[in-house]
A and B are shown apart, each in its own frame.
Chain A
């Protein structure tokens, strides 16, 4: 397919960052891999249009943030497209010490609060961009942001 090269370059350059976004959203590397695979598969299908618009990363991110993360904490749907590639071993979970109390607290937030915090305060999207990405209004972004950060701040406070 003619766009394999461009797509491969994009994946090679951005998959680490995109996987971290997925992990920040769901808190599980296996699920993060699945989220990313779903997003990249959709991106591949839509590549000619998305590439032309120049929004490859935003497209992937939007698919991942709009996934129903907490719903998917029930048995996870996995695609195993491995008919011509060997299965790789399951990725090792990040060592416990690599996950801070802050990250655990982030995972303890309600799903929409967590998404707002990730988009707004880690990835640096504006209130409007966050609202658009999540399909919610700006007031909701602000309230989720305020509550989410308040909860996280309580975790950081003892360390300060």
Chain B
């Protein structure tokens, strides 16, 4: 190879310059991402290694008053405790690991036992008919700033943690939330689409899609424990979102995830995982983690290609795990990364298709990918 070529100059002069974009456009996109992240963080924050999916439950129109209202929840695919059902009053449901220590129940705001409320302000949206509160609250050393709004058959929560540094003070957080106008009132005259911002679904009707959205795939009644359910792959503006809609006697709800951001390579695998969540199953587990940190195949056709104990992913809880390991495995002609953590109260196994991991081919690559994703709410 010749060494007299000035490659920096040759490459730099081999193409032109694109058109700059208004800086405000990037700032606006950042605002939206921060807001999405705060909402997605409800339930776990960044401290848990988790598959994150939006899960919404809302009151059926004109329905019973005993309906759980959770705008978004975060869960790990292998939580050892039972998955709450929308058939149960929320007050009787267990608190999820990492969930902020306050939530809305049919009886109003519920503060978890053992939580310390450092500051509370009620009615942060005085011009609205809903009830609302802002809480500076901590439990087990985890501090949260929350704004909760409920009423008019709906509810919502926005959450952040002071150490994330998104707001310089509790006051600033509240001001930002108030500026957004709340979480239960449409911000304009355009119809709002409750699930994934793409779909509405009310009792006795077919799913109503946002104009311009189309259904790519549909699976009827995937969740046998629900009265009705339907899984949809919805394309809107070139982007596919996977949505699972469920209905029972008290209300209806949904979980959703953008296909491009999911760790599942196919719609069918995502649906299977969501069904496992809803029915209390563990979902797909490719490996088992032994006490010595060794991962071994959990299925006959799984081959562990590489593995490493004690990966350094503090944002996913490796620091607090009694045992942890990450592996690259082959299953059904596809490569997968698996992050397995054993905590005193639960096991967390996150399975992520290598094809969805931004080109990561090695464990090092996956660890870098996972660390980068921590800033957006973790592995999904």
Give the interface of A toward B (CB within 8 A).
1-2, 4, 7-8, 11-12, 15-16, 19-20, 23-24, 29, 32-33, 37, 40-49, 62-63, 66-69, 71, 75-82, 84-85, 88, 91-92, 94-95, 98-100, 102-103, 106, 111, 117-118, 121-122, 124, 135-136, 146, 149-150, 152-153, 156
Contacts and interface: CB of A to CB of B under 8 A. Distances in A.
B18 A66 contact: no
Contact of B365 (A7, A71, A135): A135
B176 interface: yes
Given A80-B237, A81-B25, A20 B15 contact: yes
A40 B18 contact: no
Greatest chain B CB density within 10 A among A15, A66, A91 is at A66
B1 A150 contact: yes
B23 A66 contact: no
A149 B37 contact: no
8 contacts: A4-B27, A19-B20, A62-B372, A76-B238, A80-B237, A81-B29, A94-B16, A156-B5
B27 A149 contact: no
Interface residues on B, range: 35 or more
B33 A44 contact: yes
B362 A24 contact: no
Contacts of B358: 66-68
B30 A85 contact: no
A85 to B, nearest CB: 6
B336 to A, nearest CB: 16
Given A45-B30, A136-B365, A71 B359 contact: yes
B8 A135 contact: no
A15 B23 CA distance: 9
B99 to A, nearest CB: 22
A52 B183 CA distance: 32
Nearest to B377: A45
Given A44-B26, A106-B11, 11 more contacts: A2-B172, A33-B18, A45-B33, A47-B30, A91-B19, A99-B14, A100-B15, A121-B7, A135-B362, A149-B1, A152-B7
B25 A23 contact: no
Sorted nearest first, the 4 A-B pairs with minimum C-beta distance are A44-B30, A48-B165, A135-B365, A98-B16
B290 to A, nearest CB: 27
A156 B26 CA distance: 38
Report whether over half of chain A's contact residues are helix, strand or loop; otherwise say mixed: helix
Contacts, number: 174
B31 interface: yes
Contacts of B14: 99-100, 102-103, 106
Contacts of A150: 1
Contacts of A75: 238
B359 A66 contact: yes
A85 B24 contact: yes
B123 interface: no
B368 A40 contact: no
Given A45-B37, A149-B7, A66 B29 contact: no
Contacts of A11: 23, 26-27
Contact of B11 (A1, A37, A91, A117): A117
B291 interface: no
Given A7-B27, A37-B29, A118 B11 contact: yes
B369 A66 contact: yes
A33 B21 contact: yes
A63 B164 CA distance: 20
A122 B293 CA distance: 42
B312 interface: no
A153 B27 contact: no
Contacts of B372: 42, 62-63, 66
A43 B37 CA distance: 13
B32 interface: yes
A124 B21 contact: no
B298 interface: no
Contact of A135 (B19, B29, B368): B368
Interface in B8-59: 8, 10-34, 37
Nearest to B6: A121
A98 B18 contact: no
B205 interface: no
Contacts of A42: 33, 372, 375-376
Interface string B347-380: 0000000010011101011001100100110000
Nearest to B236: A80
A12 B11 contact: no
Nearest to A153: B2
B18 A19 contact: yes
Greatest chain B CB density within 10 A among A1, A45, A152, A153 is at A45
Nearest to B260: A77
A32 to B, nearest CB: 6
